[in-house]
């Protein structure tokens, strides 16, 4: 390799490294699965490194374009798998710092489970347009280029997406201190249904994802009494669960361990009414990466 080619590759590696966190944030919102986002970034680097000299005008925009198009291809192939998924499909939980680096903290709701589940109503192109335009503030001209379409097509896709979403927006989860979640966990462990119900909103919803492998509720549960009694019953019938409070996806979360091994992740939406939604992830495939990061 010539000295000039070596310098070019070094410059590209530096650019990719500089933008990697941003690219992961984009890919994760497009896909909802962190391991898939990592795979997309690996492929994006290979294409970026192999691009012709003069082809790259602005590195970050070029990289976002690659990530977007690779993600669109993966989303199209993943739709059938998600339709055939056993039980409720939930996103893969990730550390807040990965999806909300310091320069993206204002985008906290866009990493939440509630928002990612709203995006599941959309087809791949509509999802990409919402993420790129509404979340990352790209113009329709830019979104059109990134998705391989026109600006007019981008606008049309956004209109269709907003009709499908019907004006729905994820609830803005209140920041809560760790004491609130520790109280929640202690009430569950103690079997104190009354105390637990007091922390839950009357119309709370519990969604759980075991991937057909781990035991979870077979359907969504609604109502504070139903959810509270379910959590107490599950905790009492299983091995002792030890955990701690943290934040994942920019929202309050509990990480639970059985015999020192990561077993369950619980994310919550909290408003003035209490906990309005609980997302229980026990699918081992969706906990594998998080387990490695926490080890």
Domain ranges of the chain: 3-165, 178-294
178-294: CATH class? alpha beta
Pairing state of beta strands 274-281 and 242-248?
A: unpaired
Q: Which residues contact 270 (CB under 8 A, 6 or more apart)?
A: 173, 174, 176, 180, 252, 276
**pTM (two decimals):** 0.93
Per-position pLDDT tens, the chain of length 295: 677 778 788 999 999 999 999 999 999 999 999 999 999 999 999 999 999 878 898 999 999 999 999 999 999 988 777 778 888 999 999 999 898 877 777 777 899 999 999 999 999 999 999 999 999 999 999 999 999 999 999 999 999 999 999 877 766 666 777 778 888 988 998 999 999 999 999 999 999 999 999 989 989 999 999 999 999 998 877 766 778 899 999 999 999 998 889 999 999 999 889 999 999 999 999 999 999 999 8
The per-residue pLDDT for 239 is 66
- Whether 23 contacts 62, CB under 8 Å: no
C-alpha 23: how far from chain center: 14
- Whether 61 contacts 139, CB under 8 Å: no
Say whether 158 sits in a helix, a strand or coil: helix
The per-residue pLDDT for 281 is 97
Structure tokens of 148?
Answer: 């391989």
- Whether 66 contacts 48, CB under 8 Å: yes
Say whether 85 sits in a helix, a strand or coil: coil
The per-residue pLDDT for 4 is 72
The per-residue pLDDT for 240 is 65
Taking the C-alpha atoms of residue 107 and residue 99, their distance in angstroms, rounded to an integer, is 9
Burial of 242 (0-12, 13-18, 19+ CB in 10 A): middle
């Amino acid at each position: 390799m010539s000295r000039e080619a070596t310098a070019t590759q070094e410059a590209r590696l530096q650019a990719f490294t500089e933008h990697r966190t941003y690219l992961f944030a984009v890919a994760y919102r497009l896909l909802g699965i962190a391991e898939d986002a990592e795979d997309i970034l690996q492929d994006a680097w290979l294409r970026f490194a192999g691009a012709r000299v003069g082809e790259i005008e602005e590195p970050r925009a070029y990289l976002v374009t690659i990530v977007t198009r690779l993600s669109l291809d993966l989303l199209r192939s993943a739709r059938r798998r998600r339709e055939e998924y056993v039980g409720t499909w939930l996103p893969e939980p990730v550390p807040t710092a990965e999806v909300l680096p310091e320069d993206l903290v204002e985008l906290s709701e866009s990493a939440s489970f509630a928002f990612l589940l709203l995006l599941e109503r959309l087809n791949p192109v509509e999802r990409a347009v919402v993420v790129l335009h509404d979340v990352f503030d790209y113009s329709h001209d830019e979104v059109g280029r990134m998705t391989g379409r026109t600006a007019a097509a981008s606008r049309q896709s956004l209109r269709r997406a907003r009709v499908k979403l019907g004006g729905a927006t994820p609830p803005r989860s209140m920041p809560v201190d760790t004491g609130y979640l520790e109280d929640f966990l202690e009430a569950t462990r103690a079997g104190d249904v009354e105390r637990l119900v007091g922390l839950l909103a009357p119309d709370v919803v519990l969604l759980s994802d075991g991937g057909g492998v781990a035991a979870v509720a077979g359907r969504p549960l609604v109502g504070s009494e139903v959810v509270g009694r379910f959590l107490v019953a599950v905790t009492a019938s299983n091995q002792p669960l030890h955990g701690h409070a943290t934040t994942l996806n920019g929202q309050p979360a509990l990480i639970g361990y059985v015999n020192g091994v990561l077993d369950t992740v619980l994310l919550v939406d909290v408003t003035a009414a209490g906990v309005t939604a609980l997302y229980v992830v026990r699918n081992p495939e969706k906990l594998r990466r998080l387990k490695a990061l926490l080890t």
